[in-house]
């Protein structure tokens, strides 16, 4: 028996040791993104994104691996130096606040990075200081005509605080103190407004991360300067807002943002900064967030051929407001790790429009260069996604958008097609509102803001050969007729353009979409099918619920068939109820740059536009072969919009009961339609098209119940392509995140330990009574003034008693005080909670609309862990917050070094013992001797496991 089991202990030890020695199979994405946690251990400034010891490494990178991004940073800096009159903020407060002024804060970030990378550039630091002086003298960073909007203030604050952090050592003492006061005043105002402005409770809207990151940046700088109590409140408020957004964002399953690509980059510019900062400073990791894992598709699948434009759904410019190179560098380094982000960033930069439509705005073009530089990982070799070069169909199920042919070179037959039919605010937000999800935080549409959306259900765009033929109308009034959509007539009351009725969300007298109440609050469209078969694409959407029930439209079905890269067939199917008052429809088609011209061939009316020498044409007729002449024109936007207007074609057709079908064909210069006819019955529409090379016979089944399980069938000459109903889009809805309140509260618990560590470090560095009093007064700035002196005396008495250890040896004062310091944060939390409850009640009395939110959603100051090891919310235990070592720590690195040393020595000892066991003790030794040796080896194994665990926790 002993012979057969002699090797068993050896096998056991190997099996125990093997998981440690085998290559570690990491999770798909590290929640920390590999960003070291500072743990409250700072060595002055800079500290926001990097430490003082990292500056030289960044300067080396600027001359080496990062030289291309550094070249753009230097170009931006040199441009500002050469034209100071165009870039320096004005001294005059009247002039500073006279217009939207985000440009000053936006440019200050890249300017400070320029100075940091090239400190010997003559005049650069003087210019930056002058820039900051001009901003510092302003009594307010708000815009005079929009005092209710803190967004310009946020841009100024985040830029100013970032520059203060980057350039701190170059500022004189007076500038350090004055600029810090400016940061404190601006942050204090932002904090107060966070309780009463929409950005404090309207989640997933671009204003929220923009303003919250500004406040967080200011609070981190303030914290570093020792103003811990106030910075603590600001930080907790930011996290209580943003961590709710991070929970809600889990319901967005496709990586999209409902405000569209342009405003999406506005959101992620700050959202990604937030993710980085909370991981670096509070060990809150979001890099495995399910939305983040899908977000690359939102940038990659929405780019038109040529990499210069994106699909312009909702308020938009031609492409991106901010970045997206910085966001792509972030995704690649911390999420993707495959080179795709760097590749797409390179493609976008290489094809950037420098003049004309699509060029970056003066106020935004440099804003993200410093974060792009910091997040870029040169070790990730640019590599295109596996499907690059082929036209792919992609469905954003939350956004309600389908795209085809994105991110292709701008070649012949590189065609882009998009279609939009979805729920107002996206599926996640719409379902949260209508299913009353997240009741602890959400009280209907009041907690969201869909103002930048358009009345655009069942709209589309088409770019054959990459040439924008049918486009969105960009950032303009929220009219249905400014989208590629339908209006119906005659209209009832409330219509913007009688006798026509548009979608119920259109706004007649506001720049923002209607969404909060009435019919608008329930508006939605639906993608019913999106499929690709043998080079053809079929998309169907249902838009009835976007229109007033008074029109009594039973179905508004829009079908798109991409028959060839340059031929798009669009068929609208309108099914009316018997008592419907609707008698006609009015369809609009837009191009923001090129004018349409009318045409007519064989009695069929149409329109075309010229792109160079090429003609892009469209024709239309209904299912009775009737074709009405269209109206071409230009719609001028009112003042206050960034664009002048849009060219359009307007086609008006009669409606018949019960069905009306209208077919439109759009085609590029590479094909010529020689024949076009339409006929129909109750079940289907048959369309016949003939070109020089091919014939297309399309059978489109439009009835709710069809004789065959098909959406459509196409006969291309003699080849049959079928679009089956079995592949229809299935609508689904997610359940709310489990224990969502606890998830948010868990992350809030990470804040206090960092501030307490800061408190210990600050007090540990005090040398005398005078400086101790000054430091303690700063720490206790917002405590009870009557008790402040008593507390300071007590703290100093403890410091004197504990300042020397045994034998007169000097000890770390901060560490010795750690167990006895009064909790300087507890009382201020209690006081703040009472104050917010009082002001919340007053806000409700003064402004019912602003006050009807659940005040509990904005007050998160109770310390659940006070005097406890853990606490529970809804039965869930909080995670313990570990203060791990960082490069800025003074004492913790030595601990990590000892652990690392013992781990190496013990590993060597373990293998030595194992080798002796295997070679010398297998034969000829007594059983008692072997048992003794195995016992020693087992003990050593447990020691090794303990050291391995300790090393993992301390990041040694």
- Give pLDDT tens digits for 552-570: 999 999 999 999 999 999 9
pLDDT band with cut points at 50, 70 and 90 for residue 768: low
Q: How far apart are CA 246 and CA 204, in angstroms?
A: 9
In this predicted structure, the answer to whether residue 139 has a pLDDT above a threshold of 90 is yes
Give 418's strand partners: 403, 461
Q: How far apart are CA 574 and CA 702, in angstroms?
A: 10
Q: What is the pLDDT of residue 798?
A: 61
Average pLDDT, the chain: 87
Cβ–Cβ < 8 Å for 776, 821: no
Q: What is the pLDDT of residue 870?
A: 35
Q: What is the pLDDT of residue 306?
A: 97
- Give pLDDT tens digits for 520-563: 999 999 999 999 999 999 999 999 999 999 999 999 999 999 99
Weakest mean pLDDT among 98-102, 693-697, 813-817: 813-817
Q: What is the pLDDT of residue 775?
A: 66
In this predicted structure, the answer to whether residue 838 has a pLDDT above a threshold of 90 is no
Q: How far apart are CA 651 and CA 648, in angstroms?
A: 10
In this predicted structure, the answer to whether residue 898 has a pLDDT above a threshold of 70 is no
Q: How far apart are CA 709 and CA 509, in angstroms?
A: 46
Q: What is the pLDDT of residue 99?
A: 93
SS3 for 50? coil
In this predicted structure, the answer to whether residue 910 has a pLDDT above a threshold of 90 is no
In this predicted structure, the answer to whether residue 843 has a pLDDT above a threshold of 70 is no
Which tokens go with 16? 């125990």
Secondary structure of 729-773 in the HEC alphabet?
CCCCCCCCCCCHHHHHHHHHCCHHHHHHHHHHHHHHCCCCHHHHH
- Give pLDDT tens digits for 850-868: 333 332 222 333 333 334 3
Which tokens go with 290? 């399910």
- Give pLDDT tens digits for 329-376: 999 999 999 999 999 999 999 999 988 888 988 889 999 999 999 999
H helices of 137-172, where?
A: 151-166
Nearest to 769 by CA among 732, 797, 730, 810: 797
- Give pLDDT tens digits for 199-256: 999 999 999 999 999 999 999 999 999 999 999 999 999 999 999 999 999 999 999 9
Which tokens go with 92? 């005059």
In this predicted structure, the answer to whether residue 892 has a pLDDT above a threshold of 50 is no
Strands (E), 770-877: 872-873, 876-877
Q: How far apart are CA 220 and CA 578, in angstroms?
A: 65
Cβ–Cβ < 8 Å for 62, 70: yes
Nearest to 630 by CA among 663, 602, 610, 653: 653
In this predicted structure, the answer to whether residue 897 has a pLDDT above a threshold of 50 is yes
Nearest to 562 by CA among 693, 444, 462, 485: 462
Residues with a catalytic annotation lie at 207, 263, 475
In this predicted structure, the answer to whether residue 797 has a pLDDT above a threshold of 80 is no
Q: How far apart are CA 163 and CA 116, in angstroms?
A: 10
Helix, strand, coil % in the chain, rounded to nearest 5: 45, 15, 40
- Give pLDDT tens digits for 298-341: 999 999 999 999 999 999 999 999 999 999 999 999 999 999 99
Strands (E), 584-680: 584-591, 597-601, 604-611, 614-622, 631-636, 645-654, 659-667, 673-680
Q: What percent of the chain has pLDDT over 70?
A: 83
Q: How many residues are recorded in the chain?
A: 956
Mean local confidence (pLDDT), 878-892: 46
Cβ–Cβ < 8 Å for 135, 84: no
Mean local confidence (pLDDT), 641-658: 96
End-to-end Cα, the chain, rounded Å? 45
Cβ–Cβ < 8 Å for 617, 607: yes
Instruction: Give the up-direction half-sphere exposure of residue 674: CA atoms within 13 A in the CB hemisphere.
Output: 7
Which residue shows structure tokens 């251990």? 41
Mean local confidence (pLDDT), 891-911: 67
**DSSP category for residue 501:** B
Q: How far apart are CA 889 and CA 871, in angstroms?
A: 29
Q: What is the pLDDT of residue 823?
A: 76
């Amino acid at each position: 028996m002993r012979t057969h089991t002699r090797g068993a202990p050896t096998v056991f030890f190997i099996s125990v040791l093997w998981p440690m020695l085998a290559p570690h199979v990491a999770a798909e994405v590290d929640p920390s993104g590999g960003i070291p946690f500072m743990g409250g251990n700072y060595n002055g400034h800079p500290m926001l994104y990097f430490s003082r010891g990292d500056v030289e490494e960044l300067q080396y990178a600027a001359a080496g691996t990062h030289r291309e991004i550094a070249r753009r940073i230097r170009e931006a800096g040199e441009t500002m130096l050469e034209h100071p009159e165009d870039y320096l903020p004005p001294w005059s407060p009247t002039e500073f606040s006279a217009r939207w002024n985000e440009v000053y804060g936006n440019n200050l970030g890249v300017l400070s990075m320029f100075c940091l990378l090239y400190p010997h550039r003559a005049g650069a630091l003087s210019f930056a200081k002058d820039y900051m002086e001009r901003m510092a003298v302003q009594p307010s960073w708000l815009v005079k005509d929009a005092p209710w909007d803190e967004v310009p203030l946020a841009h100024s604050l985040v830029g100013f605080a970032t520059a203060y952090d980057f350039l701190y050592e170059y500022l004189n003492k007076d500038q350090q103190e004055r600029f810090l006061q400016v940061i404190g005043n601006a942050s204090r105002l932002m904090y107060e407004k966070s309780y009463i402005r929409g950005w404090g409770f309207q989640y997933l809207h671009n204003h929220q991360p923009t303003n919250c990151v500004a406040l967080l940046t200011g609070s981190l700088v303030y914290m570093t300067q020792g103003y811990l109590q106030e910075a603590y409140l600001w930080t907790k408020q930011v996290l209580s807002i943003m961590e709710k957004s991070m929970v809600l964002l889990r319901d967005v399953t496709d990586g999209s943002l409902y405000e569209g690509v342009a405003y999406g980059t506005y959101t992620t510019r700050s959202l990604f900064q937030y993710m980085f900062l909370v991981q670096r400073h509070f060990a809150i990791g979001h890099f495995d967030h399910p939305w983040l894992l899908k977000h690359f598709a939102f940038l990659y699948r929405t780019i038109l051929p040529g990499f210069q434009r994106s699909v312009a759904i909702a308020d938009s410019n031609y492409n991106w407001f901010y970045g997206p190179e910085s966001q792509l560098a972030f995704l690649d380094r911390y999420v993707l790790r495959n080179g795709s982000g760097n590749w797409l960033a390179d493609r976008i930069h290489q094809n950037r429009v420098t003049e004309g439509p699509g060029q970056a705005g003066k106020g935004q073009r440099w804003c993200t260069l410093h974060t792009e530089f910091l997040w870029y990982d040169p070790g990730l070799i640019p590599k295109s996604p596996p499907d690059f070069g082929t036209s792919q169909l992609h469905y954003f199920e939350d956004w309600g958008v389908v795209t085809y042919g994105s991110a292709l070179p701008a070649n012949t037959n590189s065609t882009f097609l998009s279609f939009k039919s979805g729920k107002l605010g996206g599926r996640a937000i719409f379902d949260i509102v209508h299913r009353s999800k997240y009741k602890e935080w959400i009280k209907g549409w009041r907690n969201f803001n869909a103002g930048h959306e358009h009345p655009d259900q069942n709209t589309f765009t088409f770019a054959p050969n990459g040439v924008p033929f049918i486009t969105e109308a960009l950032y303009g009034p929220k009219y249905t007729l400014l989208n590629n959509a339908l209006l119906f007539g005659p209209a009832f009351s409330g219509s913007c353009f009688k006798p026509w009725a548009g979608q119920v969300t259109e706004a007649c007298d506001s720049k923002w979409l209607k969404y909060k109440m009435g019919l608008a609050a329930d508006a939605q469209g639906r993608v019913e099918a999106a499929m690709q078969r043998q080079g053809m694409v079929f998309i169907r959407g249902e838009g009835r619920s976007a229109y007033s029930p008074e029109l009594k439209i039973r179905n508004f079905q829009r079908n798109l068939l991409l028959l060839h890269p340059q031929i798009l067939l669009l068929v609208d199917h309108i099914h009316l109820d018997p008592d419907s008052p609707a008698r006609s429809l009015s369809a609009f088609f837009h191009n923001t740059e090129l004018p349409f011209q009318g045409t007519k061939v064989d009695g069929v009316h149409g329109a075309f536009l010229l792109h160079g020498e090429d003609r892009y044409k469209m024709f239309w007729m209904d299912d009775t072969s009737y074709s009405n002449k269209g109206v071409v024109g230009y719609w001028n936007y009112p003042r206050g919009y960034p664009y002048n207007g849009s060219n359009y074609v307007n086609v008006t057709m009669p409606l018949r009961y019960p069905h009306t079908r209208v077919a439109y064909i759009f085609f590029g210069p590479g094909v010529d339609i020689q024949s076009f006819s339409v006929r129909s019955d109750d079940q289907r529409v048959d369309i016949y098209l003939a070109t020089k090379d091919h014939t297309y016979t399309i059978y489109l089944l439009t009835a709710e119940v069809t004789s065959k399980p098909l959406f459509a069938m196409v006969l291309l000459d003699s080849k049959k392509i079928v679009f089956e109903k079995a592949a229809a889009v299935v609508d689904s809805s997610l359940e709310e995140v489990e224990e969502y309140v606890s998830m948010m509260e868990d992350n809030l618990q990470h804040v206090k330990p960092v501030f307490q560590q800061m408190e210990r470090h600050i007090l540990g560095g005090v040398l005398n009574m005078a400086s101790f009093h000054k430091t303690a007064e700063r720490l206790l700035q917002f405590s009870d003034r009557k008790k402040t002196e008593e507390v300071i005396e007590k703290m100093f008495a403890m410091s004197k008693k504990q300042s020397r250890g045994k034998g007169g040896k000097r000890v770390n004062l901060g560490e010795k005080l750690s167990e006895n310091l009064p909790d300087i944060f507890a009382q201020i939390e209690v006081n703040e909670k009472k104050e917010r409850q009082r002001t919340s009640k007053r806000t409700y009395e003064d402004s019912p609309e602003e006050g009807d939110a659940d005040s509990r959603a904005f007050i998160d100051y109770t310390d659940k862990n006070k005097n406890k090891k853990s606490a529970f919310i809804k039965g869930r235990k909080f995670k313990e917050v570990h203060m791990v070592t960082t490069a800025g720590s003074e004492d913790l690195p030595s601990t990590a070094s000892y652990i690392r040393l013992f781990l190496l020595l013990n590993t060597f000892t373990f293998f030595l013992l194992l080798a002796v066991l295997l070679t010398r003790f297998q034969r000829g030794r007594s059983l008692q001797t072997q048992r003794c040796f195995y016992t020693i080896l087992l003990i050593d194994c447990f020691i090794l496991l303990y050291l391995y665990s300790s090393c993992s926790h301390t990041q040694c």
